[in-house]
Amino acid sequence: MPCFELNLELILNLTSPTSVKGSWEGEINGIASLGSAQAGDLSFLSGKKYRKTVPDCKASVLILPEDYEDEPSEDQIYLLHGNPSRAIDLICENIQHQLSPKREAGVHETASIHDSVQLADSVFVGPFAVIEEGAKIGENSEIHAHAYVGPFAQLGNGCVLKQRATIMDYCKLGSDCVIHSGAVIGSEGFGYETVDGQHLRSPQVGIVVLEDHVDVGSNTTIDRARFDETRIGQGTKIDNQVQIAHNVTIGKGCFLAAQVGVAGSTSIGDFVLLGGKSGVSGHLTIGDFCQIGGSTNVYSNLPAKSFVSGDPAMPYYQAQKFNVLRKKLPDLFRRVDKLETHPTSDP
């Protein structure tokens, strides 16, 4: 396990619990689940599902909801917090900074940077990174090993391109965006015109714009627009292996889980949640605050605050009823077949 420093005093300073029960002193060995934690570990409870496992947990330090009433065992301490999951995030953020401290500004000797690039003095550029003609890189940004920034692309302040991330030509990133390994921002949109039996490429001459605080997961691709722009709104978070097609617009504060696919020219509103493997057809409008369940396929517009599931997408609770009835279909078919084979006689 990676080495890091974590003790009770640091945890208290980071999390500011509302109250403390019990006492314990020592170094924290690690963070573990309630079921696997041992003495010296830190654990936490964020929801009701595992509440009954807390009394048997062997962790020395537990972060628990404010309404947790039981008392800790001997040599065990409970830290009551309004949001235990967020408290753990703060602790893990500190650990992350210990394990992977911010890189010092500077350009590695193997990096390739065009003379016309506007590079702030506070930027880190790692080994074999490439920054092409006319690109602009904002203050305190990090361009890690083998990352690529295309001609005339722009990165705002505090952006991080992880290893092998790619920002294609003319694309624009706001401030504090994180692009993980293997992601491609501005790949060519999937557009073809069939003429005399041949699929002729339709040039994609638009760009991609990411607003501030957008995170993009590993091996996700966001296609450049055919013209104009593909835009991802402020604070939207995109998981690994997501495909966003050309001319899509996604609002602020959205979550897109792994393997989501959004077809071209679709408009997605603010604070929309798309579950893993869900898909949205092209040229649709998805309203604000919609929730689209995992593996759901959307083929028509959704008004704001829709909660849908299934294929095709339908209201969530209706989809649940369909799932229950579907399990009964084999028995129903057997009964119908029996009736057709041995019909009852008329009285």
Q: How far apart are CA 99 and CA 31, in angstroms?
A: 15
Residue length of the chain: 347
Q: How far apart are CA 279 and CA 259, in angstroms?
A: 9
108 catalytically annotated: no
Helix, strand counts (H, E) of the chain: 4, 38
State the residue for tokens 């953020």: 93
From the candidates 213, 246, 283, 342, which is the catalytic residue? 246
Runs of H (alpha helix) within 275-328: 316-327
Q: How far apart are CA 341 and CA 301, in angstroms?
A: 45
Provide the token pair at 66. 């404010």
The 3-class secondary structure across 220-245, one letter per residue, is CEEECCCCCEEEECCCCEECCCCEEC
* Catalytic site positions: 246
